Amino acid sequence: MIEVEQKFRLDAEQEQKLVEGAVLDHEKINIDIYYDSEDLTLGKRDVWLRQRNGQWELKIGRRGYREGLATTYEELEDDTSIAEWFGFPGDNLTDEIRAAGYRPFVRIEKARRSYLRDGFRLDLDHCDFDYAVAEIELLIESADQQQEANDRIARFAASIGLDASPVRGKVVEYLHRYKPDHYRALQEAGVLDEV
Ligand code: V4E
């Protein structure tokens, strides 16, 4: 599946607009540890390797498919597909990732409340470094549905009166605040959205 998502500023007013009439699907604490090589080979390609609650996940930016404020990522969530993407044998993904030189660069703990509303998933995340962000998401099966998904998200956000000014993602906000060199390297590589 391909995830199309747009991030929104999350404060009490925006939260009220988002959750009105929404159904709470689940609440969860997610602990994400992001990995990259010393020279940021993944981040510079808009690829994000993380362990979420101990489980490996890979988010791969689909350059050229970014339209407007929505971004599109392919998500791999099983060890076999992730090993394949890296070209690893796949016997022990954790060992192989380490042997290839990838190291943790940030750990973010966040409380997520995930709602369903009108066919959208609404994720409301409060991070442990005093940052909150909402995401409106749609899952699509093929890239040719991208534009339609973007438009649906934009129409929905407008219909509930959300402020749709661009916001930084959680990792990016963390880097901006606490690891400016890392942030600058990604900015220079052209992978960060304009905020
Ligand atoms: C997509 C992305 C990054 C990886 C983390 O993705 P995010 O959607 O923030 O994580 P999360 O925890 O909500 O994952 P989910 O549960 O939805 O799978 S790091 C940066 N980006 C994109 C990005 C960008 N290119 N530019 C800016 C300014 N912010 C974010």
pLDDT band at residue 137 under the 50/70/90 scheme: very high
**Structure confidence by residue, pLDDT tens digits, 6-22:** 999 999 999 999 999 99
User: Is any ligand 1 atom within 6 A of the Cβ of residue 168?
Assistant: yes
The count of other CB atoms within 10 Å of the CB of residue 36 is 22
Give yes or no for residue 67 having a pLDDT over 70: no
- For the whole prediction, is pTM greater than 0.85? yes
Walk me through the domains of the chain, giving residue ranges and CATH numbers. Answer: 2-188 (2.40.320.10)
What is the percentage of the chain residues whose pLDDT exceeds 90?
A: 85
Spatial distance between the Cα atoms of 152 and 129, rounded to a whole number of angstroms: 31
User: Is any ligand 1 atom within 6 A of the Cβ of residue 136?
Assistant: no
Q: Give 4 or 67, the one with higher predicted confidence.
A: 4
Q: Give 75 or 52, the one with higher predicted confidence.
A: 52
Spatial distance between the Cα atoms of 39 and 71, rounded to a whole number of angstroms: 24
User: Is any ligand 1 atom within 6 A of the Cβ of residue 73?
Assistant: yes
Q: Give 173 or 66, the one with higher predicted confidence.
A: 173
pLDDT at 69: 55
